[in-house]
Structure 1
Amino acid sequence: MLVAFSVAPSGTGRNDGSVHDAVAAAVRIVRESGLPNRTDAMFTTIEGEWDEVFDVVRRATEAVGEYGSRVSLVLKADIRPGYTGELDGKLERLEAELERH
């Protein structure tokens, strides 16, 4: 399964509204998990089995919770049993199709 998620604190008390330190704490947990992952400006996507992926999301969310009084979590999952390597595979198929036309 692929899970794309965005997690951020609110109620941080910071005047500039920045949450980069909290997001870095979450991304650190994702990267240390050893699961295939990719982070862009809006989401972090991780690939793995149900229990391992959601354990990482839970731990990342808990880490962000230390930076504010509330946490916002947005999550989207692509659940496709029997498939692995889809973090790259989906993009490779898209690029191949774009090159054909």
Structure 2
Amino acid sequence: MALFAFSVAPLGAGESVTDQVAKAVKIVRDSGLPNRTDAMFTTIEGEWDECMDVIKRASEVVGEGGARVSLVIKADIRPVHTGELDGKVERVERVLDTSS
């Protein structure tokens, strides 16, 4: 299992890339993989191959009609660990709660 945080955007698409990024996020959400999107990245959790397939399809849809795509990926690969999309955050929150 792994967490993949990625950011994908078309290059040369003008000031706003919202429409293209929304298409990528839809692919992620339709994949059925656990996911979270924030202002900078979309994070998905799953097996290596299934996550990379989603990232590839998201990159392809962002690149439709354009010449280039920017893709940044950060991965936390942890075999046999599941639920880390929430688990990592919950552990930090517990520490913060006990240190107040």
- TM class by smaller structure: over 0.9
Is 2:10 the partner of 1:9?
yes
TM-score, normalised to structure 2's length?
0.95
**Equivalent residue for 1:100?**
98
- Residues 42-99 of structure 1, C-alpha deviations (whole Å, 9 max, x = no match): 0000000000000000000000001421100000000010100000000110000111
**Equivalent residue for 2:34?**
36
Partner Cα separation in structure 1 for residue 20 and residue 71 of structure 2: 13
C-alpha distance 67-44 of structure 1, shift in aligned 2 (>3 A):
farther
Which of structure 1's runs of 4+ aligned residues deviate more than 6 A? none
Q: Displacement, 1:11? A: 2.0
Partner Cα separation in structure 1 for residue 31 and residue 57 of structure 2: 10
Q: Displacement, 1:31? A: 0.1
C-alpha distance 67-22 of structure 1, shift in aligned 2 (>3 A):
farther
Partner Cα separation in structure 1 for residue 96 and residue 4 of structure 2: 24
Whether the aligned pair in 2 keeps the contact of 1:7 and 1:23 (CA below 8 Å) is: yes
Matched residues, percent identical?
A: 70
* Structure 1 gaps, min length 5: none
* Structure 2 gaps, min length 5: none
Partner Cα separation in structure 1 for residue 12 and residue 90 of structure 2: 40
